[in-house]
């Protein structure tokens, strides 16, 4: 056991002000789907992934691994595979049910940003600690989701734009990122600077107010 290291003792109004200031900074976060090719130093990505590594996790298994892609070859291969997968989705069942909603939110089958943005991070969830471990890690999706929340927040506070994206096709991502079978890709996070024409779709500006997302008992 290590004694708890207390945070600086603050008056309550200062605590509230800090939480409100964080809320205000995060309110400007939006998904970006038009990136510039302006480079982002690896050190920023490293610090942000390190921040994600402080997330709580089921049984402290820390069941995450982040593959950071920046090479043109890897990003092009990723774009080709993701676009092929998405064309199935947009042309198939997903097309009929979700096409309108997703279009309004700016999502489409063409994904040039996967090649243009300087970084694409693939968040993997480790279903077991190692390939030979018999026991499954608990709450993998929840733990990786929380870590990705910290990652996105760190990147946003570093002044970068991000897009959280569905991680398919799964097997392809394992091969591309050279990750073992007991890991499964959970999210792609595209990272970079916004292009001059980047915009936030009107539908994405609607955020539920506090009284709809919280109740007090």
Ligand X SMILES: Cc1cc2nc3c(=O)[nH]c(=O)nc-3n(C[C@H](O)[C@H](O)[C@H](O)COP(=O)(O)O)c2cc1C
**Residues that bind ligand X in the complex, under the rule CB under 6 A:** 30-31, 33, 105-107, 164-166, 187, 200, 204
Comparing CB distances to ligand X, the nearer of 105 and 129 is 105
- Residues whose CB falls within 8 Å of the CB of residue 181, separated by 6 or more in sequence, listed in order: 131, 174
Task: Scan for tokens 């109004």, then name that residue.
Answer: 13
Comparing CB distances to ligand X, the nearer of 77 and 85 is 85
Shortest distance in whole angstroms from residue 94 CB to ligand X: 10
Comparing CB distances to ligand X, the nearer of 33 and 75 is 33
Do the beta carbons of residue 137 and residue 126 sit within 8 Å?
Answer: yes
Comparing CB distances to ligand X, the nearer of 49 and 82 is 82
Shortest distance in whole angstroms from residue 114 CB to ligand X: 11
What is the helix (H) or strand (E) element at residue 101, kind and residue range?
helix 93-104
At residue 51, the 3 state secondary structure works out as: helix
Residue 128 and residue 16: Cα distance in Å, rounded?
A: 40
Shortest distance in whole angstroms from residue 166 CB to ligand X: 4
Comparing CB distances to ligand X, the nearer of 128 and 165 is 165
Shortest distance in whole angstroms from residue 3 CB to ligand X: 38
Do the beta carbons of residue 166 and residue 48 sit within 8 Å?
Answer: no
| DSSP result, 141-200 | HHHHHHHHHHHHHHHHHTT-EEEEEE--SHHHHHHHTT--TTEEEEEEEEEEPBPTT---
Shortest distance in whole angstroms from residue 106 CB to ligand X: 6
Task: Scan for tokens 């038009």, then name that residue.
Answer: 34
Comparing CB distances to ligand X, the nearer of 16 and 166 is 166
Shortest distance in whole angstroms from residue 20 CB to ligand X: 19
């Amino acid at each position: 056991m290590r004694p708890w290291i207390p945070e600086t003792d603050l008056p309550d109004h200062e605590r509230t002000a800090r939480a409100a200031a964080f809320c205000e900074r995060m309110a400007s976060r939006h998904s970006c789907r038009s990136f510039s090719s302006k480079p982002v130093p690896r050190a920023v990505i490293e610090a942000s992934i390190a921040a994600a590594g402080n997330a709580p996790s089921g049984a402290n298994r820390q069941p995450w691994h982040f593959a950071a892609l920046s090479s043109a070859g890897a990003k092009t291969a990723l774009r080709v595979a993701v676009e092929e997968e998405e064309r199935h989705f947009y042309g198939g069942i997903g097309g009929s049910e979700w096409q309108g909603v997703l279009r309004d939110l700016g999502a489409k089958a063409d994904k040039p940003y996967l090649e243009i943005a300087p970084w694409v991070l693939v968040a993997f969830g480790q279903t077991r600690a190692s390939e030979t471990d018999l026991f499954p890690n608990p709450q993998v999706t929840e733990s990786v989701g929380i870590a990705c929340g910290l990652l996105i927040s760190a990147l946003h506070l570093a002044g970068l734009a991000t897009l959280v994206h569905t991680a398919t096709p799964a097997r392809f991502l394992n091969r591309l990122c050279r990750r073992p079978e007991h890991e499964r890709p959970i999210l792609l996070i595209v990272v970079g600077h916004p292009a001059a024409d980047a915009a936030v779709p009107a539908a994405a500006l609607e955020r539920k107010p506090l009284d709809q997302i919280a109740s007090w008992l």
